[in-house]
Amino acid sequence: MIVDVERVAHGGVCVAHGPDGRVVFVRHSLPGERVRVTVTDERKAYLRADAVEILQPSPARVQPPCRWAGPGRCGGCDWQHVTPDEQRRLKAVVVREQLLRLARIDIDVEVETAPGDVSGLDWRTRMRFAVDNSGRAGLRRHRSHDIEAVDDCLIAVEAVNVPDVVGRRWPRGAEVTVDVSGTGERAVAMGAPDELLTEQAAGRSWRVPIGGFWQVHPAAADLLAEVVRGMSAARDTDRCLDLYAGVGLFAGVLASQAATVVAVESDPRAAAAARLNLADLANVTVVHARVDTWVNGGVDADVVVLDPPRRGAGRAVVERLVQLAPRRVVYVACDPAALARDVATFAVGGYRLTTLRAFDLFPMTAHVECVALLER
Ligand SMILES: C[S@@+](CC[C@H](N)C(=O)[O-])C[C@H]1O[C@@H](n2cnc3c(N)ncnc32)[C@H](O)[C@@H]1O
């Protein structure tokens, strides 16, 4: 069918309406375009579809730089067909809309370019490949278990060396990770080996488990550390928490400002690496625990930094944090919808969103990183 695309929505899609009035979430389109779509998923309340022919293009449309991007192809990127400026504008609209819809907060949002980024390409330092039945590694298609047999990936840094990974033969069904560290190491692995890579950020060295969490954009760790340092504004008498701490990046930043820092991380390899990374800082304690259970113990906090996974911290954790009554909460978020839900819970508890910054740390994709300051 042919639809007129109305506005951008969360998740790399735009909203249109079908002839029966149902919402159609259209990938590979842009607001203002008239497109012919193929339906990829039909539900009672809505349809999902791919724009397969552009009848009236948006001025912001470009030829995707990657030849594996497009309807039914690699699912890694959402906005290859959009100019970098417009990608950031669309992400800003999405962040603003999530905050308005889920937290009833109306705030201007600007999505800032990652330092050093020009083209939106050549930034991904961590990749995960799936292996098809012939033993070839490739990238998953959108919302699918099918695998696109790419020869390269333009958003990956060159050192990932995609041709090397797809040129080897792997066990059928395996998952292959490639990590390239800022210090020039490269690890190609299946599973979770014991080895660590070395990253540099915030003036320190960080040991990071292969396949474990570290910011994917080369500029991200330094940038977020600096933003967290500024927003947390910790004083030398403050007791701070770094929740969902990974290998301890934000705890390392807080340690130089605050009296004490407790870093809480549930992944055993990450928690062990955090202990190693922060061993020289006498005022930091690393706890290997789930935040949702740990916060219910005897905890004090003047400043809380949290950087939860995509689903957010959730109501129970946020309600408990509100009981601790920290002066400031710095919330680092990779999903604006989860952020907005948690901000709404903080707001009920008397916290106001006073600063929001958003960064384009995942160009060409619909992902956006936000850092929110909540003050009591
Ligand atoms: C987005 S990463 C943040 C890492 C760190 N702040 C950084 O910047 O490198 C989220 C971290 O939360 C951890 N995590 C996930 N669920 C958790 C839970 N329930 N309790 C504690 N940590 C959790 C993950 O293992 C991961 O290391």
Q: Are strands 260-265 and 284-288 parallel, antiparallel or unpaired?
A: parallel
Mean pLDDT, rounded, for 23-32: 98
Candidates 206, 213, 247: which one to mutate for ligand 1, based on the most atoms within 8 Å of Cβ? 213
Q: Collapse the DSSP code of 304 into the 3-class scheme (helix H, G, I; strand E, B; otherwise coil) and give the result.
A: strand
CB of 206 shorter than 6 A to ligand 1: no
Residue whose CA is at the smallest distance from ligand 1 atom 13: 244
Q: Would residue 349 be called left, alpha or beta, if left means φ above 0 and alpha means ψ between -120 and 50 degrees?
A: alpha
- Reading phi first (left if > 0) and then psi (alpha if -120 to 50, else beta), residue 191 is in left
Q: Assign 191 a pLDDT band (cuts: 50, 70, 90).
A: confident
Residue range 286-300, pLDDT digits in tens:
999 999 999 999 899
**For residue 159, what are its two tokens?**
């050192």
Average pLDDT, the chain: 97
How far apart are the C-alpha atoms of 356 and 123, rounded to whole Å?
24
Q: Residue 106: pLDDT band by 50, 70, 90 thresholds?
A: very high
Q: Of all protein residues, whose CA lies closest to atom 15 belonging to ligand 1?
A: 309
In the annotation, is 334 catalytic?
yes
C-alpha 264 to ligand 1 mean position (Å) = 8
Alpha-carbon distance values, 147 to 129, 144, 166, 252, 276 (Å): 9, 8, 12, 39, 38
Measured by CA distance, the residue closest to atom 5 of ligand 1 is 246
What confidence category does residue 223 fall into, taking pLDDT thresholds of 50, 70 and 90?
Answer: very high
DSSP for 52-65 reads EEEEE--TTB---S
CB of 199 sitting under 6 A from ligand 1: no
Q: Is the CB of 202 under 6 A from ligand 1?
A: no
What does the radius of gyration of the chain's CA atoms come to, in whole angstroms?
21
Burial class of residue 167, CB neighbours in 10 A (0-12, 13-18, 19+): exposed
Residue environment code for 295-310, b if the CB has 16+ CB neighbours within 10 A, otherwise e: beeebebbbbbbbbee
Cα 285 to ligand 1 centroid, rounded to whole Å: 16
Strand partners, 207: 198
Q: Look at residue 192 in the predicted model and tell me its pLDDT.
A: 85
pLDDT digits 0-9 by tens, 75-102: 999 999 999 999 999 999 999 999 999 9
Residue 85 CB contacts under 8 Å (≥ 6 apart), including other chains: 60
Q: What domains appear along the chain, each with residue ranges and CATH number? A: 2-61 (2.40.50.140), 89-118+201-208+215-375 (3.40.50.150), 126-195 (no CATH)
* Pairwise CA distance, residues 273 & 206, whole Å: 8
Region 157-172 average pLDDT: 97
C-beta of residue 92 within 8 angstroms of C-beta of residue 7: no
207 CB neighbour count, 10 Å cutoff = 19
- What ligand 1 atom has the least distance to the C-alpha of 224? 8
From the CB of 249, is ligand 1 less than 6 Å away? yes
pTM of the model: 0.97
Nearest residue to 74 (alpha-carbon basis) of 185, 203, 166, 4: 166
CA-nearest residue, atom 19 of ligand 1:
290
Q: What is the pLDDT of residue 263?
A: 98
- Per-residue model confidence (pLDDT) at position 33: 98
Catalytic residue among 66, 153, 334, 370: 334
Of the candidates 350, 339, 254, the one whose C-alpha atom is nearest the C-alpha of residue 302 is 254
Q: Six-digit token pair at 289?
A: 């625990």
User: Ligand 1 in contact with 331 (CB < 6 A)?
Assistant: no
Work out which ligand 1 atom sits closest to the CA atom of 334: 1
Ligand 1 pocket test, pick from 196, 223, 266, 320 with the greatest ligand atom count within 8 Å of Cβ, gives: 266
Would you say the CB of residue 292 lies under 6 angstroms from ligand 1?
yes
Q: Best substitution site from 181, 208, 265, 286 to test ligand 1's pocket, by max atoms within 8 Å of Cβ?
A: 265
**Cβ pair 346, 99 in contact under 8 A:** no
Sort strands 23-27 and 13-17 into parallel, antiparallel or unpaired.
antiparallel
